[in-house]
Structure 1
Amino acid sequence: METPFSQISERLNNRRFTVAGNPHGLSDADTIFQYHVEEGAISGTYQGGRVRSGNLIGRVTGPATIELLYHCSTLTGELLAGWSRGTVGVDDAGSTTLTFVWGWLSGATGDGESCYVELVG
């Protein structure tokens, strides 16, 4: 039986992503995100570029939508935390894509939009 989070679990669980566009954010093309999904609960890690170490938690909110809370330490010693709401999609090549609106909660100010693409191989 397919549940509201089945498609997202299939598209995110144990998959890695990199930045395709994040003009106002901290992560860049050298930052790698690894996601895990279990029964609608999302967890993950990220690092690379200016990010020394980061973690995220979240939940599936619809057939193609998620929301996340994240925090990280940077190479310069900053501690940052934020929120995001995202859409899970598929590009023309069949790779999973993520598109987010996001904002900082602690350690920085501002908000933005970003997009990510699955690392295949």
Structure 2
Amino acid sequence: METPFSQVSERLNNRRFIVANNAQGLSGTGTVFHYQVEEDAIFSTYQGGRIRMGNQVGRATGPNTIELLYQCLTTEGELLAGWSRGTVGVDQAGRTTLSFVWGWLSGATGGGESNYVEFIA
């Protein structure tokens, strides 16, 4: 049955993503995000690069929009937390894309924009 959040679930559930652009953030080359979706609820884990371990929890807010809270422990021992609002899309190759506006809540200041693309092994 189609729900208002079916596209988010179809595009994110059990899929992995890598950084396409994140100039102001910590995640970068080597960071992999793995998403799980249940109805409008979203959960992910991520690690690699400067991220020792991290997770996100959030929800779908529309047919192709999501909001997340994230936290991570860096390889330098920093504990950081933040928020993001994103759009789920599709590139010309058919891979799922994620575009975020984000900011820090704890452990750092500032924010930025970032883009991710589905990792297909």
For the aligned pair, the TM-score class normalised by the smaller chain equals over 0.9
**What is the distance in 2 between the residues matched to 1:111 and 1:59?**
20
1:34 is aligned to 34
User: Once the two structures are superposed, what CA deviation does each residue of 1:35-56 show, in whole Å capped at 9, x if it has no partner?
Assistant: 0000110001000000000010
1:2 is aligned to 2
**What is the distance in 1 between the residues matched to 2:49 and 2:110?**
20
After TM superposition, the score normalised by the length of structure 2 is: 0.99
Calculate percent identity across the aligned residue pairs: 74
Superposed displacement of residue 2, structure 1: 1.0
Q: Secondary structure at the match of 1:16?
A: strand
Given residue 89 of structure 1, which amino acid in structure 2 is its aligned partner?
A: G
Matches for 1:1-121 after TM superposition, within 5 Å: 1-121=1-121
**What is the distance in 2 between the residues matched to 1:67 and 1:107?**
20
After TM superposition, the score normalised by the length of structure 1 is: 0.99
User: Once the two structures are superposed, what CA deviation does each residue of 1:34-83 show, in whole Å capped at 9, x if it has no partner?
Assistant: 00000110001000000000010000000000000000000010000000
Give unpaired runs (5+ residues) of structure 1. Answer: none
Q: Secondary structure at the match of 1:29?
A: coil
**What is the distance in 1 between the residues matched to 2:103 and 2:4?**
26
Q: Secondary structure at the match of 2:8?
A: helix
RMSD: 0.5
Give unpaired runs (5+ residues) of structure 2. Answer: none
